[in-house]
Amino acid sequence: MSEMSDVVPDATVPASPGSRRHAAVLGSPIAHSLSPALHLAAYASLGLDWTYTAIEVDEQGLPGFLAGLDDTWAGLSLTMPLKECVIELLAVVDDEAMRLRSVNTVLPDPTGWRGTNTDVYGITEAVTRAGLQGVPRTATVLGSGATARSAVAALARLGAGSVVVCARRPEAATEVAELGQELGLSCRVQSLDPDPEAAAAEVVISTLPGEAGADWQGVGAQATGVLLDASYHPWPTPLASTWGGSGIASGRDMLLWQAVEQVRLMTGREPAVAAMSAALPT
């Protein structure tokens, strides 16, 4: 397996209306996934008779699943727990996905399969479209898991200044902060205790499970910036329901935009975002 710098996969997938291809989202559990609704709406908007299904696959089953794919497959979306363990199974992984240890998109490549990450794009678009104005000088990330790593990468793309990583596990938070520093951010770590200064950042990205952010309701009510709460079920989360800032995006917005980028990469064409958004259940 090798790395590639700033890879943008070539749009080599045939995308004529009569060319039937297959794609899927893999994970465990997977029955709850909204990805099929998004991708099928995109294919319909493009006049493509493609399939996209949700398939239950765990870490043990992933090698065999990949080995059984043929050239009718246009790509895969990956969710937990596969985003990291897939890396060793791929021929090529782009630099950002490797640095984040998170591949959520697998694409055909002349050498085998290529891994990339569209979660970072999804976060960037969700935050920007929620009302972020210009380059954020301050940002806060709540949590320290895989989504938090993608969040600091998105903040680096946005040109953020100082970033505070708030988490219960100091060692995990330090790892996220060190990643941010590698990406050119000024990062520091603090506990997950509610902090008015951290909540007052121009961008706050919560990667916590919905109820886990409830303690931040009080300080969030005094916020003035943009919130992306990566949780989306149930919605609104306690934090989102009392957010006093200038804009709010949910995990559905992040999911939508990462899927838009996946469709572009798999088809080589521009899907109808409005049709994809309308396909999400309310």
Report, as residue numbers or ranges, the catalytic residues: 83
Element (H, E) at 115: strand 112-116
d(CA 37, CA 42): 9
Q: How far from 219 is each of 16, 83, 207, 215, 222, CA to CA, in Å? A: 52, 33, 17, 9, 5
Long-range contacts (CB closer than 8 Å, 24 or more residues apart) made by 2-8: 2/91, 2/92, 2/93, 3/92, 3/93, 3/94, 3/95, 3/98, 4/92, 4/93, 4/94, 4/95, 4/114, 5/94, 5/95, 6/94, 6/95, 7/92, 7/94, 7/95, 7/114, 7/116
d(CA 276, CA 259): 9
d(CA 154, CA 157): 5
Check: CB of residue 121 under 8 Å from CB of residue 261: yes
Check: CB of residue 276 under 8 Å from CB of residue 264: no
Count the residues in the chain: 282
Q: Starting from the edge strand earliest in sequence, which strands make up the sheet with 162-166, in order?
A: 186-190, 162-166, 138-142, 203-206, 226-229, 247-250
